[in-house]
A and B are shown apart, each in its own frame.
Chain A
Amino acid sequence: MEITTTGLGLAARVQQLTKTFGSGDGAVRALEDVSVGIRRGEFTAIMGPSGSGKSTLMHVMAGLDAATSGRAWIGDTEITGLGDRELTLLRRRRVGFVFQAFNLVPTLDVMGNIRLPFDLDGRAPSALEKARVERLIETLGLAQRLRHRPHELSGGQQQRVAIARALATAPDLVFADEPTGNLDSRSGREVLALLRAASAEHGQSIAMVTHDPVAASHADRVLFLGDGRLTADMPRQTAEQISAHMLAADAAGVAA
């Protein structure tokens, strides 16, 4: 009997994951034999320079892209080889997304954007879910802005709406792709603090892809990727330690 993902205390994992783009001479190996799990209730940062494969890893783990070989799970559901419809439903109900930009639907107001996963499912939120949404709106300071459209909000406010939407369904895992990339430092720090609180106080599993050492210093665990491989797996680090590690890895890469 195979041990389950949740049995391992993981929210999502991949096993011997390889992802190749293109074929023949022009083939690019974005990921090479990666095996790693995102622990439940933890805020994990996935770091690496450009071209390290960190975004590709996130795409496959989130069910946005298919692996070339290897296996992947979200919760106890194996997503390897799932069809488009099942993946779509899975993402809708069990994964939350916060992107760097273009997070919100411009034609819907804040409330409409937060409730989008429920509306896509064609159902009204249950009493429990409604209570959760109310609490999120309070905590994220969006109560005065519910009827506003995205273009009437600042970048930081838009990210907060995206976070509210991502957390509303209490998903197995929240994927954040460079969530502070487009923000000024103050808004960025707010967003990171919110993500950390969601993880620490409410047990939400979060995986954040970033190249920014300051952002990664907010995480409980930092995974390093380089040239498509997992190069390091460390507990909470300061920004200086992360920077040093990245510079060292870069130098080693140049020397190699």
Chain B
Amino acid sequence: MGASIVVAAISSAFGAVLIITITFLGAMLRANPFLGGSHTLAFVLSFIGFVLAGVAVYVGAIVTANTFATIVAGRTRRIALMRLIGATAQSQRREVASQGLIVGAIGAVAGLLAGTGVGAIGTQVAQRMLHLDGLSFALVQPLLLLPAVAVTLTTWAAAWVGSRPVLTVTPLEALGGSVSASRAEIALRRGRHLAAVALFIVGGMLLALGVAVGLYSPLGVVVAFGGGILSFTGLALGSTLVMPPALRLVGRMFGGSAAATMASQNALRYPERSSRMTIGVVMGVTLVTMFAVATACMKAIMAAAAGGRMPPPMASVMDSFANIMMGLVGVSAVIAAVGLVNLLTIGIVQRRRELGLLRALGLSSGQIRQMVLLEAAHITVTALISGLVLGSLYGWVAAQSLLGSVSAHAGGTAGAGLVAPVIPLVPVLVVAGATGILTLVAAAVPTRLATRVSPVEALAG
């Protein structure tokens, strides 16, 4: 439960910081003689801000839904008992979901206060560092409430969705143990998958259209943006279609040791949970990569248009903008990390008996550590590869659709006005490194839990 409050707080704080940052950047740009008065830039800025806040809230919602699903899984015995005594399934579900509302509200308010505080300090520091004292911008505005409200509502909705399994708990489960069938539930998701595929295809077409339009006008980016949203939503909706094969592929990379085999099998045991968690990390990686690649491509286009070199002030503004955005996006990675820790921990708690058996048969603590780490790495590596590929694609499309007209005038570097995608090495390495750290951090607590399982207790209980 604490995890959900943390996630809600982070999302809300992130939203608040974003709004403050966007407002500040807007004021900064207006004061800049080079770019002041550019409405397109202000529009793009706000747009991106909303997107980022939306992503943070979305990832937070996924994590919260997962958390509540696992809370329900842990409370099955108690819920079954209540059902046995005579409580209705709906009332039990409402009880769990209402906790989501409370959790969301607490987290959102806490986050709002924290975020405003951070924003206040940050803008003061920035003003001093960039010698922009006297910049006029409003720190506190009604718009700041928007992320908090959004987070509260989505947390409530996520808890509602995540608590759906309550309806499937039978009173009989209070009297005896039962093993959940995980694969069976997936078979019922046909409708969702069809919608996902449709969204993905439509999104893909819009992306291509955006590139084409971009060759004539910067408005191509709007089309492409719609395509990006639709295609990514399709991907997220259809995550259980796409992720398991990807996870299986990555699993093969990890070798054939006992720990590795079991680790890769574990991620696939509950494909829905693992897929949702993977998508959460994919989002973060995709966004960071997208910004890096988009910036690099745009610089290449503008350099070509300016006859070889970009004007340095312009380049530095673009770079700092991109860096700020990438940093902010990193926040969704933190949210995903919380979700990953949750996922791994729940997996271990639900597998106590199995772990006890393995300890009895001779699985050493070193092998357990390896197994948990590989389980975490399974998800993060898959997410990293998918995110890098997607992010590069989206980034290239973004740059192409925005500045394609500029590139077309200058002839383009890849013929027909298209520019070859530029993938900057440093951001990719940083993302990979951060993913590695995320894996290590996420595996720490679950590992400790797993190594503490005593075979005697686990098998007797």
Interface residues of A (CB under 8 A from B): 55, 59, 62, 64-65, 84-85, 88-89, 91-93, 97, 99, 102-108, 112, 116-117, 119-122, 151, 165
Contacts and interface: CB of A to CB of B under 8 A. Distances in A.
Contacts of A102: 353-354, 356-357, 459
A93 B361 CA distance: 9
Given A59-B456, A65-B456, A102-B354, A92 B261 contact: no
**B261, B268, B269 pick with most chain A CB within 10 angstroms:** B261
Contacts of B179: 151
Contact of B258 (A97, A103, A104, A122): A122
**B261, B266, B356, B357 pick with most chain A CB within 10 angstroms:** B357
Nearest to A121: B362
Interface stretch (B56-64, B166-174, B363-371): B363-371
A107 B359 CA distance: 16
A84 B268 CA distance: 30
A119 B354 CA distance: 16
A234 B358 CA distance: 34
B262 A107 contact: yes
**B268, B353, B360, B362 pick with most chain A CB within 10 angstroms:** B362
Interface of B: 179, 257-258, 261-262, 265-266, 268-269, 353-354, 356-365, 367, 455-456, 459-460
Contact of A92 (B266, B362, B455, B459): B362
B362 A88 contact: yes
A195 to B, nearest CB: 18
A62 B361 CA distance: 11
Given A59-B456, A106-B354, A119-B257, A64 B361 contact: no
Contacts of A116: 258, 361
B262 A89 contact: no
Contacts of B258: 116, 119-120, 122
Given A91-B362, A107-B269, A108-B262, 11 more contacts: A55-B460, A62-B360, A65-B456, A88-B362, A91-B361, A93-B362, A105-B262, A119-B257, A120-B362, A120-B367, A122-B258
A67 to B, nearest CB: 13
Nearest to B351: A106
Contacts of B268: 107
Nearest to A118: B258
23 contacts: A59-B456, A85-B365, A88-B359, A88-B364, A88-B365, A91-B360, A92-B361, A93-B362, A97-B360, A97-B361, A99-B360, A102-B353, A103-B357, A106-B354, A107-B265, A107-B266, A108-B261, A108-B262, A108-B265, A117-B361, A119-B258, A120-B362, A151-B179
B257 A84 contact: no
Nearest to A151: B179
B266 A120 contact: no
A186 B379 CA distance: 45
Contacts of B363: 88, 92, 120
A65 B179 CA distance: 28
Give the 7 A-B CB pairs with smallest separation, nearest first. A92-B362, A107-B265, A119-B258, A102-B353, A91-B362, A88-B364, A120-B258
A84 B364 CA distance: 8
Contacts of A62: 360
A62 B268 CA distance: 33
A62 B367 CA distance: 21
Contacts of A84: 365
A89 B265 contact: no
Nearest to A106: B354
B261 A112 contact: yes
A117 B362 contact: yes
A66 B268 CA distance: 36
Contacts of A105: 262, 354, 357-358
A170 to B, nearest CB: 15
B267 to A, nearest CB: 10
A99 B459 contact: yes
B361 to A, nearest CB: 6
Given A99-B459, A108-B265, A64 B360 contact: yes
Nearest to A87: B362
B111 to A, nearest CB: 39
A105 B362 CA distance: 13
Contacts of A65: 456
B211 to A, nearest CB: 44
A107 B375 CA distance: 14
Contacts of B262: 105, 107-108
A93 B362 CA distance: 8
A84 B367 CA distance: 13
Contacts of B360: 62, 64, 91, 97, 99
A108 B353 CA distance: 15
B178 to A, nearest CB: 13
A122 B266 contact: no
A64 B456 contact: yes
A72 to B, nearest CB: 15
Contact of B261 (A97, A99, A103, A119): A119
A101 B365 CA distance: 23
Nearest to B257: A122
A120 to B, nearest CB: 5
A234 B127 CA distance: 90
A50 to B, nearest CB: 12
A120 B269 contact: no
A239 to B, nearest CB: 26
A64 B357 CA distance: 11
Given A97-B360, A105-B262, A64 B367 contact: no
